Amino acid sequence: MKPLRPFTTHPASVGESYFGHLLTAARFGLRMIVGGLACLLHGLFPFLCVTTGSDRVRKLHAEMTARCERARASDTQRSVSEIANTSRIGA
């Protein structure tokens, strides 16, 4: 196994470079932390951040789901293209 493969296999599977994936994951992580802090603040002061935590979770879920669907569609399109290219080469 190549030494960098564990760092590049998953990012490539979702159509990203290692650093692109790092930035995306960091952005999601920071947004989760902010949502978690809002939930803690709401726990202490129930009149603050009443819907912030749940709003954040819904937005993050929608964004992650959309990214997943785009990655799957891209992967499917690559597979179709590879099959088409293989068919042309073999013909």
Return the pLDDT at 2.
80
Output the pLDDT for position 68. 85
Q: Are 43 and 37 in contact (CB under 8 A)?
A: no
**CB-CB contact of 14 with 67 (8 Å):** yes
pLDDT of res. 85: 65
43-61 pLDDT tens trace: 999 999 999 999 999 999 9
Record the tokens describing residue 91, joined without a space: 């013909």
User: What are phi and psi for residue 55, nearest 5 degrees?
Assistant: -60, -45
Distance (Å, whole) CA 36 – CA 53: 7
Residues whose CB is less than 8 angstroms from the CB of residue 17 and which lie 6 or more positions away in sequence, other chains included: 11
* Low pLDDT (below 50) residues in the chain: none
